[in-house]
């Protein structure tokens, strides 16, 4: 019997409530003291098309989906057809016989357990809505896994009780019907849940939710965005918290407006953020440069999906890194972070606000659909640093400076490249701010010497950042491994499971994870890579954008690479298979 390690998947047409069902299933497993990782897939259609939601469950670590599916809930015939390859011997298929009046499909070469549950008939008898089949399917799945009923009942009651009490009662009843229809009747099914008591409380949250929480924890008070997959949920999450957390959340007419609004808020001294995807970020390019030139602190969440153009709007990619590194005309300093999981999404977003104000420059947090829309059980978040607003002057400090005969200069030349910042409305802090090159006061200039000096001043910030705040890549797994997998962003999630699988197989493999990409902390990167024997750079793009960035700046070439750019995420099994070829 395989206890507390399995993968569950539900599939059907859009509109069947599949996403909600998967999230509820994840919460039940989390309440049972287990780790979960959930990943949805759906086409870019308003309605219809094939949707899935899969949940990997493990007692110790759940950082990614895996390839085998141990329980498949098929809400239509297409689900079985499309996911046969993922089933293994001993996998169970929960289905409604009413959907297969012509007989079950023949699946050769696999010993499967067919679990019929008359979901449509149950709904009809109780005069319920067809979408409630999912609730019955949850009960059947957890009955098959022998999950304690009281845990299931508690989650269902909590989930639906927030809406209307009678919904909680009805859904508990439907779940129990599904549970009783299956529990104890399939002795050959070899997977089960044994409840445990976790050492610390957990929650189930997405990368987008983590970004929103990190922003609120950092003191963000203004958010403006035009919804664009995969970043749309950030707008939705923050709008639901607007009154409770005293925020201003604006759904703008387009991305250009969103960027200009947060620049205005940042200029006024408010911590401000926007979130978009590649197409929206393209529209923000000119205004991004203005923020860099005017030294306005802003935070931008850039959620990647496959391009170019509209590309694959609801799938995942890591192909926009170079675009972010070079966005907007001219040259100006920016800081680019690439968190790899929900926990890092929270911490990197929190840090981004500190860095934006400390260095008075745009900070871009680059994520992608895979990390943004996957859901993971995590310990409750705590920020590991305090809020740092940098050289933000108080009125007393500004008064003292003026009394000593020093006129306020917004873009004053300083040793670290960062000028003291006064906010609009502060007495003695009047200055000019525009999109033009300027002298120390902010007055526009076309003088060659002043232009060079201001450029040098702005870029000096990055040298200060590298000395004081930059972080090098982090190793996971055994030291002195025979092979090091190298990655950035969401590659971390399947890579960690691949390292774990390698350890179980007696293979010496570790993982080196990059978050701080621009400016690249050269000494720390070189130091880390010199500790490796062989390297395999894993990226979700065709051209090897991180690999080339490291080679260009650190002068180090990876031993080999594994790239994937069809819109689908990496699986740990395929990373491990590629790693084996290079050992």
Q: List the one residue out of 92, 436, 386, 43 whose CA is nearest residue 217.
A: 386
Nearest Cα residue to 491 out of 241, 316, 329, 285? 316
pLDDT at 402: 83
Q: Which residue has the tokens 């009046």?
A: 101
Which residue in 253, 307, 250 sits closest to 282, CA to CA? 307
Query: Backbone phi, then psi, for 163, in 5-degree steps?
Result: -90, -70
Tokens of 524: 């720390």
Q: Would the CA dihedral through 19, 234, 306, 337 be positive or negative?
A: negative
Distance CA 161, CA 117 (A): 26
| Bridge partners (DSSP) listed for residue 108 | none
Q: Which of 316, 267, 324, 313 is nearest to 290 (CA)?
A: 267
Torsion of CA 69, 74, 77, 81, to 10 degrees: -10
Low-confidence ranges of the chain (pLDDT < 50): none
DSSP summary character for residue 421: B
Of the candidates 330, 333, 309, 334, the residue with the CA atom closest to the CA atom of residue 319: 309
- What are 441's two structure tokens? 């006061």
Residue-level length of the chain: 583
Task: Answer whether 485's CB lies under 8 Å from 547's CB.
Answer: no
Q: What was the pLDDT predicted at 531?
A: 96
Adjacency order of strands within the sheet including 335-337: 248-251, 222-225, 272-277, 298-304, 362-368, 335-337, 516-518
d(CA 95, CA 80): 9
Two structure tokens written together for 431? 């200055």
Contacts of residue 162, Cβ cutoff 8 Å, sequence gap at least 6 = none
Please report which helix (H) or strand (E) contains residue 512, including its range. Answer: strand 509-514
- Determine which helix (DSSP H) or strand (DSSP E) holds 524, and give its type and residue range: helix 522-529
Q: Which residue, among 467, 491, 537, 215, has the nearest Cα to 339 in the 3D structure?
A: 491
β partners of residue 192: 3
> In order of start, what are the domains of the chain with their CATH numbers?
2-199 (3.40.920.10), 204-379 (3.40.50.970), 395-468 (no CATH), 474-582 (3.40.50.920)
- The two structure tokens encoding residue 96: 């409604």
Question: Which distant-in-sequence residues (6+ apart) come within 8 Å of 371 by Cβ?
Answer: 207, 339, 340, 341, 342, 345, 489, 490, 493
Which residues touch 106 (CB under 8 Å, ≥6 apart)? none
Q: What is the DSSP string of 365-401?
A: EEEEHHHHH-EEEEEPP--SS-----SB--HHHHHHH
Question: Starting at the edge strand that comes first in sequence, how are the strands of the sheet with 535-539 ordered?
Answer: 474-476, 509-514, 483-488, 535-539, 560-563
CA–CA distance, 191 with 1 (Å, rounded to integer) = 6
- Rounded Cα gap, residues 499 and 511, in angstroms: 7
CA 48, CA 186: separation in Å to the nearest integer? 33
Task: Give the closest residue to 562 by CA, choosing from 552, 582, 553.
Answer: 582
- Report the distance separating Cα 557 and Cα 329, nearest Å: 29
Residue 165 contacts by C-beta under 8 Å, 6 or more apart in sequence?
Answer: none
Query: Residue 536 forms beta bridges with which residues?
Result: 485, 560
Other residues' Cβ atoms within 10 Å of the Cβ of residue 69? 25
What whole-number distance in Å separates Cα of residue 87 and Cα of residue 538? Answer: 26
């Amino acid at each position: 019997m395989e206890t507390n390690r399995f993968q569950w998947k539900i599939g059907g047409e859009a509109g069947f409530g599949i996403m909600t069902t998967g999230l509820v299933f994840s919460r039940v497993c989390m309440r049972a003291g287990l780790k979960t990782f959930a990943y949805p897939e759906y086409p870019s259609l308003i309605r219809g098309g094939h949707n899935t939601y899969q949940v990997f469950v493990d007692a110790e670590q759940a950082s990614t989906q895996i390839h085998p599916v141990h329980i498949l809930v098929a809400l239509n015939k297409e689900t079985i057809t499309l996911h046969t390859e993922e089933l293994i011997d001993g996998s169970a298929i929960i289905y409604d016989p009413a959907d297969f009046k012509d007989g079950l499909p023949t699946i050769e070469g696999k010993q499967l357990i067919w679990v019929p549950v008359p979901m449509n008939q149950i709904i009809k008898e109780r005069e319920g809505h067809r979408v409630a089949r999912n609730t019955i399917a949850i009960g059947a799945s957890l009955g098959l896994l022998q999950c304690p009923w009281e845990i299931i009942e508690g989650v269902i009651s909590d989930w639906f009780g927030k809406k209307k009490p009678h919904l909680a009662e009805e859904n508990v009843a439907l779940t129990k019907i599904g549970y009783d229809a299956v529990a104890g009747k399939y002795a050959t099914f070899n997977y089960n849940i044994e409840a445990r008591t976790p050492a610390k409380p957990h929650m189930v949250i997405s990368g987008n939710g983590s970004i929103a929480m990190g922003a609120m924890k950092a003191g963000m008070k203004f958010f403006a965005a035009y919804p664009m997959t995969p970043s749309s949920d950030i707008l939705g999450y923050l709008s639901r918290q607007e009154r409770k957390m005293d925020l201003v959340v604006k759904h703008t007419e387009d991305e250009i407006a969103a960027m200009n609004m947060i620049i205005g808020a940042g200029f006024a001294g408010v911590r401000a953020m926007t979130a978009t995807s590649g197409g929206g970020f393209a529209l923000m390019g000119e205004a991004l440069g203005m923020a860099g030139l005017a030294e306005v602190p802003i935070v931008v969440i850039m959620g990647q999906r496959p391009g170019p153009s509209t590309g694959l709007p609801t799938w995942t990619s890591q192909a926009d890194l170079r675009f972010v590194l070079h966005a907007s005309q001219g040259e100006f300093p920016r800081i680019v972070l690439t968190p790899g999981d929900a926990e890092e999404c929270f911490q990197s977003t929190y840090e981004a606000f500190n860095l934006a104000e400390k260095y008075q420059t745009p900070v871009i947090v680059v994520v992608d659909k895979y990390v943004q829309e996957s859901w993971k059980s995590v310990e409750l978040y705590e920020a590991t640093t305090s809020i740092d607003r940098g050289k933000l002057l108080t009125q007393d400090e500004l008064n003292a400076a003026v009394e000593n005969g020093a006129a306020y200069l917004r873009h004053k030349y300083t040793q670290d490249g960062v000028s003291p910042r006064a906010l609009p409305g502060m007495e003695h802090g009047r200055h000019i701010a525009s999109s033009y090159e300027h002298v120390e006061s902010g007055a526009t200039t076309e003088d060659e010497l002043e232009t060079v000096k201001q450029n040098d001043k702005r870029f000096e910030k990055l040298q200060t950042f590298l000395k004081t705040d930059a972080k090098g890549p982090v190793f996971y797994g055994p030291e002195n491994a025979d092979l090091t997998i190298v990655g950035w962003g969401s590659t971390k999630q399947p890579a960690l499971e691949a390292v774990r699988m390698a350890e179980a197989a007696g293979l010496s493999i570790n993982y080196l994870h990059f978050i701080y990409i621009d400016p690249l902390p050269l000494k720390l990167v070189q130091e880390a890579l010199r500790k490796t024997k062989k390297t395999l750079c894993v990226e979700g793009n065709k051209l090897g954008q991180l690999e080339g960035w490291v080679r260009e700046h650190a002068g180090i070439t990876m031993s080999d690479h594994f790239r994937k750019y069809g819109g689908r995420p990496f699986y740990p099994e395929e990373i491990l298979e590629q790693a084996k070829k290079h050992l």
